[in-house]
Amino acid sequence: MKAARVHQYGPLERLQKSHAEWRALLPPKAYEVLFEKDTERPFTSPLNDEKRNGTYVCAAPIEGHMATKRDFKLIWPRTEYHCARCGGHHGHLFGDGPRPTGQRWCSNGLALRFVPEGEALPPLRS
């Protein structure tokens, strides 16, 4: 087991929840995106028009702790990114984005929760 990361919440450890437990905690569409690797239809994200300053956190546990893996689901390799704490699928990272990084993060808004600047981050799930 990897060492826990320290964040403002304290040590972070990988959550060990069954799919049934996650299904009971999350809205159906968020569960499908996070744990069945579904994808939102283009331009349907509730966060598409979000322009305020704030923090995006995983709809299951917490922001700032992502992991990646290679995904060959569509024949050519892609980089999937997911929450390092719950394992929930957030989207894919592509190398055809704008300068200076060349990265395009294709995020599923249903996998995220927006917390406006000045509001407290939600408590961690356990």
- Rounded CA separation 73/61 (Å): 26
- Rounded CA separation 10/42 (Å): 36
Going along the chain from its start, the domains and CATH numbers come out as 53-119 (2.170.150.20)
Average pLDDT, the chain: 82
pTM as predicted: 0.74
- The first and second tokens of residue 63, run together, are 């922001």
Return the active site residues: 106
Collapsing DSSP to helix, strand or coil, 73 comes out as coil
Question: Residue 33: what pLDDT?
Answer: 93
Mean pLDDT for 99-103 is: 93
Q: Does 5 score more than 70 pLDDT?
A: no
pLDDT tens for 13-56 read 788 899 999 999 999 999 999 999 898 988 898 899 999 999 88
**Of 66 and 58, the one with more pLDDT:** 58
